[in-house]
Amino acid sequence: MTNNKQLKVLFVTPELVPFVKVGGVADVSSALPKMLAELGCEVRVVVPKYGAVDNRKFKIHDVVRLKDIPITIGDKDYTFSLKSSFLPSPKVRVQIYFLDNELYFGSRKSIYGDALSGEDYPDNDMRFAFFSHAIFELIEKLGWQPDIIHCNDWQTGLVPAYFKALKKRNPASETIKILYTIHNFSNQGIFGKGTLKGLGLPDSMINENGILHGNKVNYMKAGIQFADFVNTVSPGYAKEVMANKVISSGLDELLKKKKKKFAGLINGIDESDWNPKTDKFIPKRYVLKSIDEKLENKKALIERFDLEGDLNEPVIGIISRLTEEKGIDLFVDSFDKLAKMKVKFVVLGAGQKIYHTKLEKLHKQYPHKLGLLLGFDNELAHLIEAGADMLLMPSKYEPCGLNQMYSLVYGTIPIVRKTGGLADTVSQFDSAKGTGNGFVFEKYTAGDMIKSITSAMKIFEDKGTWNKIIANGMQSDFSWKSSARGYVELYQNILNQ
């Protein structure tokens, strides 16, 4: 690595742990900048100041000189202010800027939509166009210019377009390179053409080689078109989205065209949060040598959900957004069969109403077989990772997936479908060779999933072999260090382009 010290990165994200989280992008946005800072980069992070972010709890202060900054988008005038804080870390200081606008962020209790109805806010198009545009003004005013702007997901997809469109206003900005990371192709920021009039983009960008895709406005497509480089979060998923219209939600052809400027880079996990040796949320901490103590956590989990059966029966956990892509259909549709097996389940999840309803019904029917918490509960997620014997991820698609990596370091054996990042991180256990760290099924069918669960349950009975699988997982390195090194290399390659 050369010249890390000088590498300045502005990390632009819609979500950030511990302040605001809906999905995995929030974890990445905290862990990666911290690791980049450890590797010697100067990193600052920008995130919207949603109403749900607690100023007092997180010691968030106004940046007095950056108050009420005017911004014109199209023919409308707005202002934004900056607030600031630091990422919690004993090792490094990573500055965070909260971009504050009362109308678009401060007044909203939720992040993307009404929590009760599950409907997206109707002005999400302008909310995140505003956020993206304001990054340009921010750089003008900050007195600190990054070498790289690292954007994440559809909410920041317009940043590269605005930098191209506005560059004459700040010629110094022309040296900045933009990396656009896509954490999931299933949310692209697609809006009707009515959105265009509010965006203030030049006509030259408003076509199928620019921001339009299939005659609709598509923020992710704009990101892919105008960024200097694009990546997604695992090599497996990168291949799948170039090859498959469904997985890429229609962007496969474009990605194939851009393949010289498109790569897959696997996420890591934040070991300061997810480590059974230091985890402050679990009743009993453990390491590989003391793996038997994991059982204390299993007891706590079983008690919490009042699950039946003896302690020798395996407990399988699911921690997931409850959406179609996560394969929840396979699980709920086959639960009557699963309930006949000598196994118990704990599901923690939130998402589509249809799955809430189905899971509640199953829980009523099998209250001691299926533990259920519908909602978001980080502490419980830790207890499940530590207390379950296996973790099920039957995803239809999985860009990277974090839970399977958490479960590997917690000695909780993943049972996953072979897709995207799951295929990159979990390998089928081979009892003859003693290799592999989990159970992998290929076809997206309940039959294949049940077969995989059954074979895991069989091996579970042989403690010696089971402990071998546990060791294979717990000894592997899923830390952010190697992934962050990959990003530093990528930044340097982009700067040398």
The interface with ligand ADP within residues 337-396 (CB under 6 A) comprises: 348-350, 376-378, 381
Stretch touching ligand ADP by CB under 6 A, among 95-103, 285-293, 401-409, 460-468: 401-409
Element (H, E) at 335: helix 335-338
Counting contacts by CB under 6 A, is residue 319 touching ligand ADP? yes
Closest to ligand ADP by CB, 13 or 195: 13
Residue 385 neighbours by CB distance under 10 Å: 26
Nearest approach, Cβ of residue 19 and ligand ADP (Å):
15
Counting contacts by CB under 6 A, is residue 47 touching ligand ADP? no
Sketch the per residue contact string, 264 through 303, with ligand ADP: x for CB under 6 A, - otherwise.
----------------------------------------
Stretch touching ligand ADP by CB under 6 A, among 174-182, 279-287, 355-363, 400-408: 400-408
Spatial separation of the C-alpha atoms in residues 13 and 273, rounded to whole Å: 20
Counting contacts by CB under 6 A, is residue 401 touching ligand ADP? yes
Counting contacts by CB under 6 A, is residue 328 touching ligand ADP? no
3-class DSSP state of 368: coil
Closest to ligand ADP by CB, 173 or 403: 403
Spatial separation of the C-alpha atoms in residues 247 and 240, rounded to whole Å: 7
Spatial separation of the C-alpha atoms in residues 96 and 200, rounded to whole Å: 28
Token duo for residue 360: 């509640």
Nearest approach, Cβ of residue 372 and ligand ADP (Å):
11
Looking at residue 40, the DSSP 8-state letter turns out to be: T
Spatial separation of the C-alpha atoms in residues 41 and 418, rounded to whole Å: 35
Closest to ligand ADP by CB, 400 or 423: 400
Nearest approach, Cβ of residue 370 and ligand ADP (Å):
15
Nearest residue to ligand ADP on Cβ basis? 24
The single residue among 18, 23, 113, 283 that binds ligand ADP, judged by CB under 6 A, is: 23
Closest to ligand ADP by CB, 226 or 274: 274
Counting contacts by CB under 6 A, is residue 24 touching ligand ADP? yes
Sketch the per residue contact string, 434 through 473, with ligand ADP: x for CB under 6 A, - otherwise.
----------------------------------------
| Residue 11: strand pairing partners | 45, 150
Task: List alpha helices for 115-244, DSSP H.
Answer: 124-142, 159-166, 196-199, 219-226, 235-243
Nearest approach, Cβ of residue 475 and ligand ADP (Å):
22
Closest to ligand ADP by CB, 211 or 233: 233
Closest to ligand ADP by CB, 81 or 320: 320
Q: What single string gives the DSSP state of each residue in 467-486?
A: HHHHHHHHTS--BHHHHHHH
Spatial separation of the C-alpha atoms in residues 24 and 16, rounded to whole Å: 9
What phi and psi, each to the nearest 5 degrees, are found at residue 91?
A: -100, -40
What phi and psi, each to the nearest 5 degrees, are found at residue 195?
A: -60, -30
> Which residues lie below 8 Å from residue 23, measured CB to CB, with a gap of 6+?
15, 183, 184, 321
Q: How many residues bind ligand ADP (CB under 6 A)?
A: 17
Closest to ligand ADP by CB, 22 or 166: 22
Spatial separation of the C-alpha atoms in residues 108 and 328, rounded to whole Å: 29
Nearest approach, Cβ of residue 407 and ligand ADP (Å):
10
The single residue among 9, 19, 27, 181 that binds ligand ADP, judged by CB under 6 A, is: 27
Q: Is 123 exposed, middle or buried (0-12, 13-18, 19+ CB in 10 A)?
A: middle
Q: Where are the beta strands (DSSP E) in 13-160?
A: 42-48, 61-62, 69-73, 76-86, 95-100, 148-152
Closest to ligand ADP by CB, 137 or 385: 385
Judged by the rule CB under 6 A, the positions of this chain that interact with ligand ADP are 23-24, 27, 319-321, 348-350, 376-378, 381, 400-403
